[in-house]
Amino acid sequence: MNLVGGKILAAEQCGEILEGLSAGILSALFKGAPDSETVIRACDTLVRDLDTAACAELLAGIGIDGALAKSYISELRRMFSAESLRFRLRTELGESLGAVTVRTPLFRDFAVEESTRPLGVILHIAAGNADGLPAFSVLEGLLTGNVNILKLPAADGGLSVRLLAELVRIEPALADFIYVFDYSSRDVEQLRKLIAVADAVSVWGGDAAVTALRGLVPPNVKLIEWGHKISFAYASGEITEEALCGLAEHIVGTGQLLCSSCQGVWLDTADTEEINAFCERFLPILEAAQAKSPRDFGESVRYRTALEVYNAELEAFYTDSRVFKGKQCSLIARKDSVPEVAIGFGNLWVKRLPRAEILSVLRPCKNMLQTVGLLCGDSKRAALADSFFRAGAVRVCKASRMSEVYCGQPHDGEFSLRRFVKIVHSDAD
């Protein structure tokens, strides 16, 4: 689905739109985007009027249902409420967008004024791993006063376009600032045209997507990358039952699908026996969490997972690892310390990583680490967090909170709104 000027268009109509794109963009830039408060009010109305039943149905379609779907929807409501958005703007941009600060610089005898302004035009190239995320990216662009062009991911279920069309219905002044195109990543010519009118390209996606884009984006267009990240848990010393339950619930709840989802557990030990003992202790807890809130990702995923676990059992011979198999979950005790992506869906690895080796083992993964969930006593927390931050992680929290988001939270080490603005300065005298 394509969306231009608030209208949903068929693919055939897009050719013409694309030809006239730079004229449309110029007129939008000339007019200037509606202020943040207008965007905030429209969003607030959007989530207040949100049809819960329809949303639940959409979520069920991607394997999220029951209590989890309910919590997702209420989270969505909170995230998009006027209160949250105002808080985010204040936290991330400090003074509001456009507010002018006047000061006299050190060692100079003239005054300057500085203010935060939109970059101009942002092309959002969204990933398909979270339905609705593309709309969220556009919203951030609107909040910061930019003209937004969204290239939908191939797997988009249509949620993004519906949300954005609804937003324009509520606030028609936003119509000229939202373009959505349904091109495939293979439509290089069209992509080039979209990139040509943009000040910045904001890309979410895997290694391949990001690398491909680096080749397409000319030097005078800023590239804002949101690459894939991986997250882990780290256990040291005495581990409470409660902490393990929290970790298990997190693993089951996210299906290990998010960037912040735990892929595996490192133990602060060099002793294989301790790793096996941990697996024996944690497996029934993980099993119980699976049984309590089973998530169905479909038959295909069930078989794939079974194949991969069976394969890990065969591989165990070569890698000297050991598979602890539970009901719809498994733990693979390995001898090395190297971080890797788990089989997922309740199947993760457990490895050794003595505290002293954290930095040397994780350094090669710089810019790829996101969250580390800690399972340890309070006294160790600060020192461990410091080690992980040095090694490149950007969030350290209790294992149970790894995927919990809060209002005004930085994303992958940055405030995302800041990446969509520039600081301009001029003479104040």
Partner 1 sequence: MGLYYRRKIYDTDGTDAAFVRAVSKNVIYHQKRCPEYAALLGRQGFCASELKNIDDLYKLPPIPTLFLKNRTLYSVPEKRLLLRSATSGTGGKASHVGLDLPTVLRGAGMVLGGFMAHRLISLRRTGYIVLGYEPAPRNNMGAVKSAYAATLAAPAYRRVYALRDAGTSYELNMAGLKSALIRYAKVGVPVRFIGFPAYFLFLLKELEADGLRFRLHPKSRILLGGGWKQFFSEQVDKQSLYALSEKLIGLGGGRFKEFFGVVEHPVIYLDCPNHHFHVPAYARIIIRDTDMRPVALGVPGILNLITPIMTAMPHVSILTDDLAVLRPGSECGCGIKSPYFEILGRAGVADIKTCAAGAAELLSVTEAKK
Residue span 335-364 as binding mask against partner 1, x where in contact by CB under 8 A, dash where not: ---xxxxx-x-------------------x
Decide whether 180 or 209 has the Cβ nearer to partner 1.
Answer: 209
Q: Is 215 in the site for partner 1 (CB under 8 A)?
A: no
Nearest distance from residue 302's CB to partner 1, in Å? 6
Q: Is 129 in the site for partner 1 (CB under 8 A)?
A: yes
Q: Is 208 in the site for partner 1 (CB under 8 A)?
A: yes
Of residues 314, 379, 406, 429, which one binds partner 1 by CB under 8 A?
314
Decide whether 192 or 302 has the Cβ nearer to partner 1.
Answer: 302
Decide whether 104 or 360 has the Cβ nearer to partner 1.
Answer: 360
Of residues 303, 383, 390, 410, which one binds partner 1 by CB under 8 A?
303
Stretch that binds partner 1, among 109-117, 118-126, 333-341, 377-385 (CB under 8 A): 333-341
Q: Is 410 in the site for partner 1 (CB under 8 A)?
A: no
Of residues 300, 379, 406, 426, which one binds partner 1 by CB under 8 A?
300
Find, among 28, 4, 367, 410, the residue nearest to 197 by Cα. 28
Half-sphere exposure of 108 (CA within 13 A, CB side): 10
Decide whether 146 or 322 has the Cβ nearer to partner 1.
Answer: 322
Of residues 116, 160, 236, 261, which one binds partner 1 by CB under 8 A?
261
Nearest distance from residue 371's CB to partner 1, in Å? 11
Residue span 367-406 as binding mask against partner 1, x where in contact by CB under 8 A, dash where not: -x--------------------------------------
Cβ atoms of residues 367 and 39 within 8 Å: no
Residue 162, Cβ density class (10 Å: 0-12 exposed, 13-18 middle, ≥19 buried): middle
- Cα separation, 161 vs 182, in Å, equals 10
Range 143-182, binding partner 1 (CB under 8 A): 155
Residue span 79-108 as binding mask against partner 1, x where in contact by CB under 8 A, dash where not: ------------------------------
Tokens of 270: 């060099």
What is the CA 34 to chain-centroid distance, rounded?
A: 26
Of residues 94, 206, 377, 410, which one binds partner 1 by CB under 8 A?
206
Q: Is 258 in the site for partner 1 (CB under 8 A)?
A: yes
Q: Is 297 in the site for partner 1 (CB under 8 A)?
A: yes
344 contact partners, CB below 8 Å, separation of at least 6: 255, 256, 257, 263, 305
Nearest distance from residue 282's CB to partner 1, in Å? 20
Cβ atoms of residues 399 and 236 within 8 Å: no
Stretch that binds partner 1, among 6-14, 103-111, 294-302, 385-393 (CB under 8 A): 294-302
Stretch that binds partner 1, among 22-30, 47-55, 254-262, 414-422 (CB under 8 A): 254-262
- Cα separation, 35 vs 33, in Å, equals 6
Q: Is 229 in the site for partner 1 (CB under 8 A)?
A: yes
Q: Is 310 in the site for partner 1 (CB under 8 A)?
A: yes
Find, among 46, 31, 1, the residue nearest to 176 by Cα. 31
Q: Is 307 in the site for partner 1 (CB under 8 A)?
A: yes
Residue 380, Cβ density class (10 Å: 0-12 exposed, 13-18 middle, ≥19 buried): middle
C-alpha angle 157-299-133 in degrees, rounded to nearest 5: 25
Contacts 24+ apart (CB under 8 A), 366-369: 366/391, 366/392, 367/227, 367/392, 368/227, 368/228, 368/229, 368/230, 368/392, 369/229, 369/230, 369/231, 369/232, 369/339, 369/393, 369/394
Cβ atoms of residues 383 and 356 within 8 Å: no
Cβ atoms of residues 89 and 73 within 8 Å: no
Nearest distance from residue 308's CB to partner 1, in Å? 7
Q: Is 308 in the site for partner 1 (CB under 8 A)?
A: yes
Nearest distance from residue 299's CB to partner 1, in Å? 7
Of residues 50, 56, 306, 397, which one binds partner 1 by CB under 8 A?
306
Q: Is 207 in the site for partner 1 (CB under 8 A)?
A: yes
In the complex, the residues that contact partner 1 under the rule CB under 8 A are 62-63, 127-129, 155, 205-208, 227-230, 256-259, 261, 263, 297-308, 310-311, 314-318, 338-342, 344, 364-365, 368
